[in-house]
Each structure stands twice: as structure tokens, then as C-alpha cells.
A and B are shown apart, each in its own frame.
Chain A
Amino acid sequence: MKHKKAKLLKIICFFIGVLLALVACRGDVDNASSDSDAETTGDIGSTESIQTPSKTPLPYLPSNIVLESDPISVSSQKYDPPSTYNEVPFFADLVTAGKLPPISERLPREPFVVGPGVLNSEKWLDWEVGDYGGTIRTTNLNGSMHEVALAMGMTILRAPDQSTKDPLPAIVSSYEISADFTQYTLTIREGIRWSDGVLVTTEDVRMTFELYDDERIYPSFPIKARTLGRADGTPGKLTIIDHLTFKITFDASYGQFLAELSSWIPDYTLLFRPAHFIKQFHADYTDMAEIQLILDELEMRTWEDLVILKDMRHWELYREHGLGVPSLTPWITEEVTSSVVRAVRNPYYWKVDIAGNQLPYIDRVEAEVSNQLQSIILKTAAGEYDVVTSFAQIREMPLYRENAERSNIKTVLHGSINNPPILFLNHDYDYETEDSVWQQLISDPRFGSAIASAIDKEDVNNTLYFGHYTLDGFTKETFDPEASNRLLDEVGMTQRDADGFRTDPNGDRFELTITTAEVSPDFLGLGELLKNYFENVGIRTTLDVIGSSLFGQRMNGNELMATIHWSDEPIWAPGISEDYWPGFKGHWAPMSEMYFNTNGESGRKPPPYLQEFFDLHVARKVVPPQSEAGEALYADLVNWFSKHYVTIWPVGRMTVPTVYNADLGNVIKDGYPFDRALDYGMEQLFFKTPQ
């Protein structure tokens, strides 16, 4: 009897043990997951699933904006195509063996010509004709693959650097936009081929729109192809004119679409998917019996799942399921393992240089998957990578400069498409509480101004960034503790508590909690500095550092008062990024955003000053972002940001290094305003000495 009891007890204890272990492991996994998906390439997916009835309210345009434009029509290139083309040595054997057609048959009738000022403006790059050959070794953190994604990023139209102003036709050979920005007529570059040699035609575009419309594949039509880029906009209407020309019509002015066509975020897959490839898996086009064979092999259940797997956006091309998918990218994926991604040049790539060489110059790209930032830094300094764009920070400059000669690396210092961490003040925090003190304070610009002028921008810059960042930004205040104290007194925070900190206007304890996930090493340093500055003017400040997943959860729950995060301000103006949006990177009005996205079904009805932002945001979509009207609207938006202190800027713009093999040619110059030039233009890089 006793023996039995003991046995039962053992069993119970065992189960408790297992349970405990499970709990422990869960914590582990939660902590390990990073927010890599929240990065730029994932942005579109996050808003795609919102379904709303289709109706497009007309945006309110500020009175100073004049919507006047001539129709836009562009069909020329910057350089005329060369008369002859040089065969790529890498393919020479295949061509002589007759396994690959010669270069003139692989290229479009009139290829896209790259020369000085095409991919980067001449001010920033002394472009030269390169040589074929070599392998570029690069890396990425935890398989995020943004470097490769950018190297593979091929936009439908292309303007130099990070601009969307007057783009050249790239995948298409000409485009026309009606004066009211409702009709976009595009003609595909004649003879342009998918990486498997099949010609690109309007059938590919038709297929893409068919998939978008098919609820079995797409739960809802992608918002970037809807009128005004809104979840409730009517889907763009596609008209096929002939096998090369098509027209997309929106039911209201949608000038932002020009930026979408020129942006590496939606990329060419916004309009072009390989129809011949997808049809193999689509039950409407292929016999189910044949599809069943593939399904069995992949152990999948339905053909819809198969189409969803095989129909991909460009950032999936270098994933394992992207192997063998026809693309329009300079390199095509040849091998994907857990430690490395290898890509080899696309024989049918459609760009040439002015001397008649087919791009890319480099034969192969090899991206190592790292899981330790510190090991990336060490290997970079040791010269084990040829291009490192986003992981090098200015703090490591001594290391790179010291090892420059030994490791044969060079560094170029330039701006960034990201900006340094900024402080977001949540204007929706605690909005449901009646007479909320936070709401009273935050809607008063004097409070925001007090916070901004408490920050010693110069000190932040010197301490964290070698004094190399700029001191501008949307908050113009300079360091002035006296003004800050005065403003805080004015908003009613006059009393002090036992610890010497200011109380709120009602005389109760006041605490500013700044939350951050330690995405980058400077976040914590900045947080500690901010705490220092704010306590200096009497605001009790707590710094709360949490894991990225918890950060995301609390952010979505509107539980955070203030957050530190970076954003993409340098590419807000050209309309490539919209990360100023209230709930994206750091968040400053998530519930008002929900109200906007759901057409008022849930969330918070924005108070008038926040409504102004949404009006401006919608108005910006009407015109191309870098048109005259677009620029005026953006200035209004910046002005709104400065006036309402939703973001507080400890420093302005970044200076970051790109570390590259000293042998590489066509590298941008110091001071280039953006970063990512070496991956988002990797096709023009070449090795000066043959490898």
C-alpha cells in the first residue's frame, strides 16, 4: 500500500516537473524571438489583412495645395543602349555548348542602361565601367536577409539614390500618368525575360491582379494597389491593352502610386508575378491530378496553400521555398542552408552598362547567417566580408580604421535611411481615464516643448556618436533647462514632492516611464541620458528595458507612455517609408490609428489636433510625394510634428559607416545622405583586381 502511494506521488511529481520545464522553455523561446519581422520589408504585410467595405472618401486638401499637373509621360533612358554586348565569361562555356542563348538573345530589345547618375546621382558616385567576376561575401543577423533583399530589390521605375522624383522606366519601357493621377499606363520593356528565359508580358500582370482579387489566395486586396493606399480604397482596376501595355485606374487621385512603383519596399512583385510558373500550381489552369503529385511530394493539403507558397514577394526569393522561382533580380538563389544563402548571376538580367556589359558585374553573392552582432563586428574588422552595410555603427569606427590595412577593408561614412533613436510620447496613453493628467499634459504643446528643451542634444551627440550626428530633427528646441523649468511651471507642475521631483498639476506623484526594447546598443545609453536630463528639470523618470516581444505586446495594448525607437525619417519625404504612422516603430497614437484604420468602429476618435495629422496623411497620398504639391504637404506634416511633440529628437540624422572590401569599385562617397547604397546597388559593384 505504502509502495503504491509512493509511486503515485512520483508520477504526480514527474508531471509537475514536466510542467515546470515547459513553462521555463516557453520563457526562453519568447525571449529569443526577435522583432526582425517588424523591419522594413515586413511592413506591407502587417496592414494587408484589414478588411473593410470599399468606399473612398475624398481627402481634404489644405487650401494652400494646388492640385495642378500636366500628364506625365516618360519613355526615354538616360543613356542610349550600346550597339554590341560583351558575353559574360561566367556563361561563355554554356553559350558555346549551346545550352544558353548568346547575350544578345538574352537581353531585352533595348536593355536598361546603367551609367553615371543612373543608380546613384553623380554627386555621390564617380561611376565607372567595371569588370566581370568575383564573389561578394556579406552577412545578416538571424536570417533577416535585408542586405540580400535590397540587392535583389528591383523597382518598376527607378530614380537615383533614395528618391522617387522623376523616375526612369526600368522594368517597363515607358509610363504615362494622367493629370489627375488616376490612370497609370505602363508598357513592359520589350523582350525582358524572367530568370528562366520566359518573356514577361501583361499576362503576368493580369495574373497578379487575379491573385489579388482571389479571396482564396489573398484575404484582401493589397492596400498599396488600392486607391489612396488605404484599406478602404477601391482596388485599382487593371485594363490590358496589348501583350506589353496595361493601364491601372483608380477612382480618385493617387499620386503616391508613382512612389510605390519606384520604391524598393513593394518592389516589382507589386505588379509582376511569373504567371507561367504560378499556373502550374493553380487548379484553374492545371489539372488537379498533376497538382496532386506536387502536393503529395511537399506533404501539403490544398492547391491554394501551394499557390500561396509559390507566389511570393521579392523578400521571400532567397528563402528556401524561393529556390527555382523565376525572378527579375540580378542574382537568383541557388542554395539556402541554415548558415548561408548563395545566389548566382541571372543570365537573363535586363540591365547593361554603357560599355555593353550585362549587369551584375559580380558572379555570386554569398550571405552568411550570423546570430551574434558581436561576431559580425569582429569578422567585419577581420575583413571576412566584402560588404557590411547595416551592422557597422560609428562606435566601432576605431576598430575598422585600425584594421583597415591588415584586413584590406575601407569604410565610407554616410547618412542613413534610418534616423537615430527618438523619443515617442504616446498621445493616446490613458485616454479612457476621465480627467487624465497625462492627457491634459500631453495635449499641451508647452509640456512637449519643456521635455524637448531639457535634452542636451550636443551632449548626446558627443557621448554616443562621436559628435558626428546632426542636431536638427523635428523638435527645434535647444538645450535650455531654464526654459524647460519655466514651461513645466506654466503647465501647472509647480509643486515638488518629498524627493524633490515635480508633482502633476493636481499635486499627485508624477512619473514619466520610458520603455524600450534594446534593439540597438545606443538605446540604453540614450535612455539613461534622457532620465538624467528629465530628472534635472524635476520630472521623475523611470527607464524600463524589456524584450522585443513584450515591447510589441505592450505597444499594441496601448500600455506604454513613452518609447524609444528609431524610424525612417530620411525616406519619409520621397514616400518610400511611412513609419511616422502612429503605431509603427515607436508609437504615439495607436488608438487613434485604430480608429482611422477601422473607419471609426473601434479605437479612439482623434481629438482635433490628431485629426489634423490624419487629414495631412491622406492628402499626401493624392500627389506624388516629391512633386511640388507633395513637398509642400510634407513640409506641413513636418510642421505638424514639430508643433505637437509626438516625437522628441535627441539628435537629428545619423552618420554610419559601410565597411567594404578595399578592392570594390563603384562605391559611394563620404557624406552620401543615405545608407544601403552598396546593397541597393550591388549590381554595379565590381572588383578592381580579378579575384
Chain B
Amino acid sequence: MNQTPIHAFFSRIASGYIRWRETRAKRLQESLYYASQRKLVWHAFNRHKLARISLVFLAILYFVSVFADFFAPFGPLKRFKDFNDAPPTSIHLIKADGRLSRPHIYETKRELNTDTFKYRYSEDRSKPHSIRFIVRTEPYKLLGFIPMQHKLFGLENRQVPLLLFGSDRLGRDVFSRILFAGRISLFIGFGGVLVAFILGSILGGISGYYGGVVDEAIQRVIEVLISVPDIPIWIALSAALPRDWGTINIYFAITLILSVRGWTGLARVVRGRIISLREEEFALAAKAAGASDRRIIFKHLLPAFSSYLIVHMTLAIPGMILGETALSFLGLGIRPPAVSWGTLLQEAQDVNVLANFPWMLIPALFVVGAILMFNFVGDGLRDAADPYSSSR
């Protein structure tokens, strides 16, 4: 074969790359022999692209929600008078003279057409406002204690509405409200799952390990709980909440309400696993060696299916988020002026919104997105944590 120098150069690079890949794979293969379980799971999880991307997005979502004070251009209750039901502000990149410039908006005026009862918005091209990053604002306290004076982005004139996702019926910025609402909606999942997890693993563990009357009692309670339809039991419990408790307490009470049902599924699985594991040789050996019940449960049995528990938790969080959304949507959970994705959607349950103000439904996208991402992450974790998975 007649090789030109260029050909030779490229084939050298190609073969070098192939060699590099081979050695890398070999090294990886070798490392697998002495990798810890955690590392193995992480490695398998990393191969699940969708899960990895979802995890990153979720992390961003949580981060932004926690620091909503900084990321949201306005507070959740800040109203723009005369800008109720306003559509998203259009952001321009090209100035009136046709040149590219930094993102800016124009001041808008609106007029009511008394015939169609629709507002007509007109931009005043002579009054541009640039969107600035790290813009100086009125002082506030990040997370309630860090004094701050800047927000991630916004206009210098704080009275001009910059409404990324439009405004609601009282003229409040939907984008900011979504971020603040995430604080409750995203974390109610954690709270609920945590309580459900503790209850589920302890009661399931006791039930499976000891058996007998205790097992019977716990299992019957579970049966009763899962036989009651969700919505009525939520209604009953949330009707019992004193209304003068304040948002934070109500929020915790709702987490508890959600976890009343949440622990039952987990408890059943834990019980099943414990029943099968306690007959395994390693458990019997520990027993023969005189280990206490507690030691057997926590040191020998639990770790044997901890990966399952983690997966279960990840998959349970979206259930809790949906639970809160459903409760608030029905007007039983968090009530305005507190904001959660559920209350935002409750305000949008109106034919008018569908017909004329569709941007008020954007919170639904966040709910769907967050839940999908949790499901992907859970999916990835399950594949990764399952020692018999074929993908390994």
C-alpha cells in the first residue's frame, strides 16, 4: 500500500487512540476487582446517561430553589400594579438601530380594549432597560440570615416588570414564584420520604425479624392503611389541621400526612427481605456466634439490601411531590399566600387561564420535569445497584 505521510500520521494517531482505549478498559477492568460496592454502583450509574443528566438538572433545581432569594428577580409576593395577567415580557437582543446589544426589554404600556376585554400591550421603544447580571437590589437576607444586596439578574429600575414567565392574576412574577414554590414542593418530598423511610424500615424490620403477633398486628395496620383511598384520608387529616398554625407548621403536618401512607409499601418490602435474609447462612452464623438482634439487623441484614432502600427512596420522592401538589391543588394542603407548585396550579385552575393566560400553567412543567428526572435517577440507581443487572 502506498501511504502518504499524511496517511501515516493519521493511522498512527488512530492506532494510538485504540491502544489508549484498550489499556484504559483493562485498567478499569482490573480496578473493578477491588472496587468497593459504592464505587461499582457509581460507575454503573454513570453509564446511564439520562440518569446522570437528570441528576445534574435536579441538583441545579434544588440549588436554585434553596437560593431562590438570589436567583429569583423578585420576591414571591411582589406585585406589579396594573400588570396582572400579563404575558411573558419579550427580551430583545437587537437594538432599535439594528445592532446586536446585550439583552434588554422595553417598557410596556397596556390598554384595555373594552370590546374584547383583552389588554393590548405596546412597547415603548424609546425606553429600553438592559438586563444586568448581579444587579443591585433592595437589601434582603439570603436563607433568612445572610445579608445580601444583589440578585442574579434583573433590571436596574426595580419598578419595571421583567416577567420571564408572565404574571399571575395579582400581577406577581410567575418565574420568581415558581422558584420560591420549589422550596416547599421539592423539600416536602424529602421530609415525607424521610419519615416514611424511618417508619417503614423500622416497622418492616421488626415485623419481618420477630414475626408472630407483632408481625400480624403491623401487617393488619398496613392493610387497613392501604385499603383506605388516598384522597379521603388526606381530606380527613388535613381538615383536622388547625388553620392558625402558620405556613411552616402546616407544611410539616402535611409531610406527616403524606408519610402516613408512604411507609406501608416500604415496610412490606423490608419485611419480605428480612424474612428471606434471616435464614441465610451469614445471618445464622451471626446468630450462632451470639450476636444481639440489633447487631444482626443493623450490621448484617440491613446492609444486604441498602441499595434497594436507596432506590426506593429516590422513587418515592416524586410520589410525595405529586401528593403535595394534589393536596394543594384541591385546596387542602398549603394555602395561599404561601406558595408551592400545587398552590400555583390551584390558582390556574380556571378556564380563563387555559384560554387567555396559558403561562400560568408553567408550574405544571416544573412538576412534570422534576418528577421525570427523579424517575430517571431512580431508574439509573436501580440498574446500578442491582448486582444481577445484565448491564454491569
Contacts and interface: CB of A to CB of B under 8 A. Distances in A.
A401 B117 contact: yes
Contact of A525 (B77, B81, B170): B170
Interface in A532-553: 532, 542-547, 550
Given A10-B220, A528-B337, A21 B82 contact: no
Interface string B189-221: 000000000000000000000000100110011
Interface string B92-119: 0000000000000000000010011110
A13 B221 contact: yes
B139 interface: no
A521 B350 contact: yes
B336 A9 contact: no
Contacts of A302: none
A543 B233 contact: no
B116 A398 contact: yes
Nearest to B217: A9
A594 B244 CA distance: 27
Nearest to B168: A525
Chain A: number of interface residues, binned into ranges: 35 or more
B2 interface: no
A591 B158 CA distance: 49
A17 B116 contact: no
B336 A524 contact: yes
A17 B352 contact: no
A72 interface: no
B86 to A, nearest CB: 11
B212 to A, nearest CB: 8
Interface stretch (B54-62, B222-230, B381-389): B222-230
A25 B228 CA distance: 10
A635 interface: no
Contact of A546 (B118, B227, B243): B243
Interface string B63-82: 00000000000000101011
Contacts of B239: 27, 30-31, 547, 550
A547 B117 CA distance: 32
Interface in B292-347: 331, 335-337, 347
A459 B81 contact: yes
B233 A20 contact: yes
A586 to B, nearest CB: 18
B232 interface: yes
A390 to B, nearest CB: 17
Contacts of B223: 13, 17
A interface, over-half SS = helix
A374 B351 contact: yes
Contacts of A401: 115-117
A9 B337 contact: no
A396 interface: yes
Contacts of B350: 374, 521
A545 B335 contact: yes
Contacts of B84: 462-463
A432 interface: no
A234 to B, nearest CB: 45
Nearest to B337: A528
B336 A543 contact: yes
A26 B239 CA distance: 11
Contacts of B221: 13, 16
Contact of A463 (B169, B213, B220, B355): B169
A402 B224 contact: no
A17 B228 contact: yes
A97 interface: no
Given A401-B115, A521-B350, A9 B220 contact: yes
A542 B337 CA distance: 9
A467 interface: yes
A197 B163 CA distance: 67
Given A9-B217, A24-B233, A16 B224 contact: yes
Contact of A395 (B77, B220, B336, B352): B352
A464 B232 CA distance: 33
Contacts of A547: 239
Contacts, number: 114
Nearest to B82: A462
B142 interface: no
A50 B244 CA distance: 34
A69 to B, nearest CB: 45
Nearest to A527: B336
B361 interface: no
A399 B116 CA distance: 9
B170 A529 contact: yes
A64 to B, nearest CB: 43
B351 to A, nearest CB: 5
Given A17-B223, A399-B356, A545 B331 contact: yes
A394 B112 CA distance: 13
A525 B355 CA distance: 20
Contacts of B217: 9, 13
A264 to B, nearest CB: 30
Contacts of B169: 463-464, 525
A528 B170 contact: yes
Interface in B133-179: 169-171
A301 interface: no
B236 A398 contact: no
A10 to B, nearest CB: 6
A16 B77 CA distance: 44
B230 to A, nearest CB: 10
A24 B232 contact: yes
Nearest to A17: B224
B276 to A, nearest CB: 22
A6 B337 contact: no
A373 to B, nearest CB: 9
B117 A397 contact: yes
A378 interface: yes
Nearest to B231: A28
A187 B131 CA distance: 79
B373 to A, nearest CB: 31
Contacts of A142: none
Nearest to B235: A27
A396 B355 CA distance: 10
B172 to A, nearest CB: 9
A396 B233 contact: no
A137 B336 CA distance: 37
Contacts of B115: 401
B116 A402 contact: yes
Interface in A376-414: 377-378, 381, 394-399, 401-402
A513 interface: yes
Contact of B235 (A10, A28, A398): A28
A498 interface: no
A547 B239 CA distance: 9
Nearest to B116: A401
Given A24-B233, A399-B355, A463-B81, A543 B224 contact: no
B171 A396 contact: no
Interface centre among B82, B216, B223, B347 (most CB of A within 10 A): B216
Contact of A21 (B79, B118, B228, B352): B228
Contacts of B81: 459, 462-463
Contacts of B355: 398-399, 402
A540 to B, nearest CB: 12
Nearest to A541: B337
Nearest to B84: A463
Contact of B213 (A5, A27, A398): A5
B351 A399 contact: yes
A510 to B, nearest CB: 14
21 contacts: A13-B220, A14-B220, A16-B224, A21-B232, A23-B236, A27-B236, A28-B235, A30-B239, A374-B351, A397-B117, A398-B356, A399-B355, A401-B115, A401-B116, A463-B81, A464-B169, A528-B170, A528-B336, A531-B337, A542-B244, A545-B336
Closest 6 CB pairs of A and B: A13-B220, A397-B117, A17-B224, A24-B232, A27-B236, A24-B236
Given A16-B224, A27-B232, A532-B77, 7 more contacts: A17-B227, A20-B224, A25-B232, A462-B82, A521-B350, A528-B336, A542-B244
